[in-house]
């Protein structure tokens, strides 16, 4: 069964600390029953709200093609330790590290990432999920 997840248009389209508390429209993503073998964690800063709209809009079908889905997005970062200056954190789940990397290295994503060139700074890591059970 497919479920709907809130994506904040891949999150960055509205990546300012929001005074507006309305949620974006749900966007259909891949089956949430999919086993999670890896997470992709994106931390972003230094961009204007809405500047990543075209980039954000291009991502959902590419994520779906490679088995990814969004699981967390936050612009109101709660730093428990350290000194983070990121404006947003996005976490996506993937069937495996190989699937996440296939997305990242795909020709589709190579085209999409051109839409964010020169906009902000981003750190992206792929980490394996702990086994369940």
Question: Phi-psi category of 115—alpha, beta or left, where left has phi over 0 and alpha has psi -120 to 50?
Answer: alpha
Which tops the pLDDT comparison, 23 or 74?
Answer: 74
Q: What is the mean pLDDT of residues 93-104?
A: 98
Q: Determine the CATH number of domain 4-14+26-128.
A: 3.30.70.100
Ranges of H-type helices in the chain: 53-65, 97-104, 107-113
Are 60 and 7 in contact, with CB atoms under 8 Å apart? yes
Phi, psi of 110 (to 5 degrees): -60, -35
- Would you say residue 76 has pLDDT above 50? yes
Q: Where are the domains of the chain?
A: 4-14+26-128
Q: What is the pLDDT of residues 26-50, one digit of tens each?
A: 334 445 567 899 999 999 999 887 8
Residue-wise pLDDT for 52-74, tens only, equals: 999 999 999 999 999 999 999 99
């Amino acid at each position: 069964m497919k479920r709907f997840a809130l994506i904040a248009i891949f999150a960055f389209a509205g990546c300012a600390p929001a005074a507006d508390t309305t949620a974006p429209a749900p966007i259909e993503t891949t089956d949430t029953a999919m086993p999670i073998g890896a997470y992709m964690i994106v931390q972003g800063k230094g961009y204007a709200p809405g500047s990543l709209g075209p980039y954000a809009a291009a991502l959902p079908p590419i994520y779906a093609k490679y088995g990814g889905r969004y699981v967390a997005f936050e612009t109101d970062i709660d730093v428990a330790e350290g000194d983070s200056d990121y404006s947003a954190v996005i976490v996506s789940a993937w069937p495996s590290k190989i699937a996440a990397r296939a997305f990242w290295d795909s020709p589709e994503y190579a085209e999409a990432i051109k839409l964010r060139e020169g906009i902000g700074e981003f750190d992206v890591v792929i980490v394996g999920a702990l086994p369940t059970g």
